């Protein structure tokens, strides 16, 4: 068995299960083929090797840390371009990269770095590239690469690890909630990107269940009010990002011309095509950061006329 230091990369489609349920197996298979093709091309162009595909995901390795990072950036750019030209079959993916010396067989790789890369990919929001501290250390001297220190996070089965995000596009403004479930980014090409955590669906389902239980236990007028709140919540969730689902770690992008923003006291309200989509409040977001994001968003919108 060979042992050498390599960069391990994992990536998978977000929202694949609900897409399969909605579109059927044949359409889902075709989407997966498109995704794998885009990823494999980015891997080969940066001297990497696809180890295996697993339905809606890909595992690859690179002998150079820089090659892995460049390939990941190319993947996200390719997916963004695909989504621009295919608005009805958008593909969102999270990417994780770790450095180490795994055990290699003819058909697979094994070891801590493999597990770490997979957990990083699972932790990543749609549209995000996460790298391990070791991988980042090998890249930080290079010009043109920008990293965000996300601090220590708990990776399932591996314990706490310091994570870094590789920023792959020009950013004019960024805003995340306190629990790091949602990130909003104003990009240099006049878009608003919304990145959602992969486990957001679980949080939403738990909130829905608590609301249902409260409605069932209430009587009289409180029950009527809670029923109204429940219906409004379901409608708001359906409209959150238009045709995209917020429950599967996806990344949604909107042209800034489609987005309107209003700062209402300590709340930031975003509407898409005149329909309310997101209401950000101080309970979930830092108010100072929210106001700074609003100012930069308005400046960006003004610059495009």
The answer on pLDDT for 208 being more than 90 is: no
User: What's the distance, CA 288 to chain centroid?
Assistant: 24
Count Cβ neighbours within 10 Å for each residue of 263-300 and write b for 16 or more, e otherwise.
Answer: beeeebbbbbeeeebbebeeeebeeeebeebbebbbeb
Mean pLDDT of 217-246: 60
Q: Which residue has the tokens 């709140």?
A: 229
User: What's the distance, CA 82 to chain centroid?
Assistant: 16
Angle, CA 213 vertex, CA 211 and CA 219 arms, to 5°: 100
Predicted confidence band of residue 99 (pLDDT cuts 50, 70, 90): very high
Write down all domains in the chain, each with its CATH number in brackets.
Answer: 2-168 (3.30.70.1230), 200-303 (no CATH)
* pLDDT tens by residue, 259-297: 999 998 889 988 887 776 678 888 889 999 999 999 999
Predicted confidence band of residue 104 (pLDDT cuts 50, 70, 90): confident
* pLDDT tens by residue, 120-178: 999 999 899 999 999 999 998 888 899 999 999 888 888 889 999 999 999 999 999 99
């Amino acid at each position: 068995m060979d042992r050498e230091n390599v960069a391990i990369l994992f990536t998978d489609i977000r929202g694949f299960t609900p897409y399969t349920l909605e579109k059927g197996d044949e359409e889902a298979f075709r989407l997966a083929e498109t995704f794998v093709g885009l990823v494999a091309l980015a891997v080969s162009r940066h001297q990497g090797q696809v180890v295996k595909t697993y339905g809606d995901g890909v595992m690859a390795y690179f002998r150079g840390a820089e090659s892995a990072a460049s390939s990941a950036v190319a993947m996200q750019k390719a997916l963004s371009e695909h989504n621009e030209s295919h608005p009805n079959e958008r593909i969102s993916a999270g990417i994780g990269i770790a450095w180490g010396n795994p055990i290699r067989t003819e058909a697979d790789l094994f070891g801590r770095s493999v597990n770490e890369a997979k957990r990083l990919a699972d932790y990543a929001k749609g549209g995000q590239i996460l790298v391990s501290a070791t991988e980042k250390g090998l890249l930080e001297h290079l010009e043109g690469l920008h990293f965000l220190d996300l601090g220590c996070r708990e990776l399932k089965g591996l314990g706490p690890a310091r994570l870094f995000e590789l920023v792959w596009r020009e950013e004019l403004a960024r805003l995340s909630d306190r629990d790091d479930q949602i990130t909003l980014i104003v990009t240099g090409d006049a878009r608003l990107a919304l990145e959602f955590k992969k486990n957001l669906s679980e949080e939403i389902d738990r909130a829905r269940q608590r609301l249902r239980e409260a409605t069932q236990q209430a009587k009289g007028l409180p029950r009527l009010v809670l029923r109204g709140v429940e219906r409004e919540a379901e409608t708001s969730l359906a409209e959150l990002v238009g045709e995209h689902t917020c429950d599967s770690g996806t990344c949604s992008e909107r042209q800034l011309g489609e987005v309107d923003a209003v700062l209402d006291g300590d709340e930031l309200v975003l509407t898409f095509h005149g329909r309310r989509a997101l209401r950000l409040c101080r309970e979930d977001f830092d108010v100072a950061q929210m106001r700074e994001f609003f100012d930069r968003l308005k400046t960006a919108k003004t610059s495009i006329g």
